[in-house]
Homo-oligomer: A and B are copies of this chain.
Amino acid sequence: MSTLEDILKQVQSGELDIEAAKNQLTEHWQSQTVAELGFAQIDTDRERRVGFPEVIFGEGKSAEQMIAIMKRMKEHSDRILATRVDQAKADAILAEIDGAAYHPTARAITWFRHPMLKVHDGYIAVVCAGTSDMPVAEEAALTAECMGSHVERVYDVGVAGIHRLFRRLPLIRGANAVVVAAGMEGALASVVGGLVSKPVIAVPTSIGYGASFQGVAALLAMLNACAPGISVVNIDNGFGAGYYAGLINQNMAKRL
């Protein structure tokens, strides 16, 4: 199919009249940026535009739909990430998609054309408050790894026993970006934010009960953190936090 340059040159040379040029420009652009799939329009331009291909949100999609999307994406991209996939769906998908891997704690599927590489210098720290926050933390870690970042995990260091955090501080401080996942009162984000000079991405988790309101208490706490250098993503959005950290790390690498 012709490139933008080609089309404009054909207009210049008179090979193409104006109406035809308009049509060709439209067709060209559409074929470059959207893969029609009936029930879905895959945004194949995403990687060029924002640095990573469209990620498949597994919740509410059938295994069949996911397999169809993945097959189509393999034609356009070298890596695929699907989040919020339960074991049953994963089994069905892995039977169909050669080379896909399932990560049960992170509840995610990855597929790589080439071995997954740590392509960037530097690393990301993923910190979580309790063992129950691990699925969210793992989703963050895996996402960042898919984007080419090395990840250091620092788990179960909540403020009820704050010395557990302090002994891991040097590792956290060395990261290019820090993800902090915490439920209940989410205080860990403020404490980490007050101790490091790197951007902290706080991800509230829905761990807790009663007045935690499925993560709202942690969300509000993180939005009101008294320490600067903290930004927040949606409750349980490990993917978003890992993506954000990966983006920072990737941009730093590009600059070198």
Contacts and interface: CB of A to CB of B under 8 A. Distances in A.
A176 to B, nearest CB: 7
A197 B50 CA distance: 4
Given A191-B187, A235-B210, A156 B39 contact: yes
Interface string A167-196: 100000000100000001111001101111
Best-buried of A214, A218, A233 by chain B (most CB within 10 Å):
A233
A228 B240 contact: yes
Interface centre among A9, A191, A221 (most CB of B within 10 A): A221
Nearest to A195: B49
A239 B228 contact: yes
Interface in A200-256: 201, 204, 206-237, 239-241, 243-244, 247-248, 251-252, 255-256
A250 to B, nearest CB: 8
A104 B51 CA distance: 37
Nearest to A22: B8
Contacts of A196: 49-50
A87 interface: no
15 contacts: A29-B163, A30-B167, A41-B161, A43-B161, A122-B255, A159-B190, A160-B193, A187-B191, A197-B247, A199-B199, A208-B224, A209-B234, A210-B214, A218-B224, A229-B243
A228 B243 contact: yes
A236 B209 CA distance: 8
B61 A132 contact: yes
A112 interface: no
A217 B210 contact: no
